[in-house]
């Protein structure tokens, strides 16, 4: 079952990047007609952030802006879980500077190829992208200062392993800063079974307390929900209006 879900997610995101646009663009059937820029502005990115990255890096796949809450510093090493085409990784790279480093991990080969093209196009010498799964990170122990992730952990059928891996690779004193979707109550069965909703992070969402519990059990301390808001499901995903009242976007911070 887990392999089947991962295969479907990988295939779904491979199609998104090959279409050259957001999953919520008009070229895709998984979402409505909102543009990547509109979606990014709606979830917390500024015009300057959107315009600061290479064209094609922002696919409109996020549900929040983790970089905005990360308080990144010059010289830090940052890991982006589910880096996609590199949007958040490139924003993080500007904050950590030439003395810092950003590693993006994604399981979709097409995304990695696009991200590497964007890095070359934007001359990002302090960013690298690695093909791999966030449940088995291709990253050394105790090597990361800050982990960021944007609406990706929901795609994993094994969220417990994701947070255990995040804890493993973080240095002592390091921080986890994620934006993700959670449920405020049970998801309607028709949406839970929807592959398109899963690729859009919705069917993979779990209840808020369960999500925070996985983080705490992995060993993190000072687990804090920095902000929580409703998620505009009806504007982004065709036919998913019934999920609007049960899905929330949260930003979570925790420390090792």
Please answer whether residues 249 and 229 qualify as being in contact, where contact means their C-beta atoms are separated by less than 8 angstroms: yes
Is the model's pLDDT at 172 over the cut of 50?
A: yes
Q: Which two tokens stand for residue 107?
A: 């399981």
Is residue 117 within 8 Å of 139, Cβ to Cβ?
A: no
Reported as a single tens digit per residue, the pLDDT across 77-108 is 999 999 988 888 999 999 999 999 999 999 98
The whole-number pLDDT of residue 215 equals 98
Q: How far is CA 110 from the centre of its chain?
A: 16
**Looking at residue 84, what is its pLDDT?**
85
Q: Cα dihedral sign for 137, 138, 142, 143? A: negative
Mean pLDDT of 148-173: 94
Q: What is the pLDDT of residues 189-203, one digit of tens each?
A: 766 666 566 555 676
Q: pLDDT at residue 219 above 70?
A: yes
- What pLDDT is stored for residue 6 in this prediction? 58
Contact 115, 104 (CB under 8 A): yes
As its CATH architecture, domain 2-255 has 3-Layer(aba) Sandwich (3.40)
Q: pLDDT at residue 143 above 80?
A: yes
Mean pLDDT of the 164-183 span = 95
Q: What is the mean pLDDT of residues 217-232?
A: 89
Q: What pLDDT, on the 0 to 100 scale, is given for residue 26? A: 31
Specify the pLDDT at position 229: 80
CB 82 within 8 A of CB 132: no
The pLDDT confidence band at residue 58, using thresholds 50, 70 and 90, is very low
Query: What is the separation, in whole angstroms, between the first and last Cα of the chain?
Result: 31
pTM equals 0.78
Q: Which residue, 100, 111, 95, is CA-closest to 52?
A: 95
Q: Give yes or no for residue 132 having a pLDDT over 50.
A: yes
Higher-confidence position of 42 and 165: 165
Three-state SS for the chain is: CHHHHHHHHHHHHHHHHHCCCCCCCCCCCCCCCCCHHHHHHHCCCCHHHHHCCCCCCCCCCCCCCHHHHHCCCCCCEEEEECCCCCHHHHHHHHHHCCCCEEEEEECCHHHHHHHHHHHHHCCCCCEEEEECECCECCCCCCCEEEEEEECCHHHCCCHHHHHHHHHHHEEEEEEEEEEEEEECCCCCHHHHCCHHHHHCCCCCCCEHHHHHHHHHHCCCEEEEEEEEEECCHHHHCCCCHHHCCCEEEEEEEEEC
pLDDT at 30: 38
Whether residue 224 is predicted with pLDDT greater than 60 in this model: the reply is: yes
pLDDT in tens, 10-57: 555 545 545 554 443 333 333 434 455 555 555 556 556 555 454 544
Q: Which residues pair with 105 in a beta bridge?
A: 81, 130
- How far apart CA 123 and CA 160 sit, in angstroms, is 36
Residue 232's pLDDT is 59
| Nearest alpha-carbon partner for 34 in 235, 233, 181 | 235
- Quick one: average pLDDT of 116-132? 94
């Amino acid at each position: 079952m887990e392999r089947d879900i991962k295969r479907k997610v990988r295939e779904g995101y491979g199609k998104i990047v090959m279409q050259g646009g957001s999953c919520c663009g008009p070229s895709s059937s998984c979402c409505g007609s909102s543009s990547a820029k509109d979606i990014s502005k709606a979830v917390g990115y500024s015009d300057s952030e959107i315009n600061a990255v290479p064209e094609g890096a922002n696919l409109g796949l996020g549900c929040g802006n983790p970089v905005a809450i990360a308080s990144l510093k010059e010289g830090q090493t940052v890991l982006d879980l589910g880096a996609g085409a590199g949007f958040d990784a490139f924003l993080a790279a500007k904050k950590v500077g030439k003395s810092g480093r950003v590693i993006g991990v994604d399981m979709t080969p097409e995304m990695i190829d696009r991200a590497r093209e964007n890095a070359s196009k934007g001359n990002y010498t302090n960013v690298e992208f690695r093909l791999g799964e966030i449940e088995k990170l291709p990253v050394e122990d105790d090597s990361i200062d800050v982990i960021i992730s944007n609406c990706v952990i929901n795609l994993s059928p094994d969220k417990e392993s994701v947070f255990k891996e995040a804890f493993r690779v973080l240095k002592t004193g390091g921080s986890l800063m994620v934006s993700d979707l959670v449920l405020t109550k049970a998801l309607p069965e028709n949406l839970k079974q929807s592959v398109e909703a899963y690729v859009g992070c919705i069917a993979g969402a779990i209840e808020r307390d369960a999500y925070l519990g996985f983080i705490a059990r992995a060993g993190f301390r000072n687990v804090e929900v920095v902000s929580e808001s409703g998620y505009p499901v009806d504007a982004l995903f065709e036919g998913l209006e019934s999920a609007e009242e049960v899905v929330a976007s949260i930003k979570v911070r925790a420390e090792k």
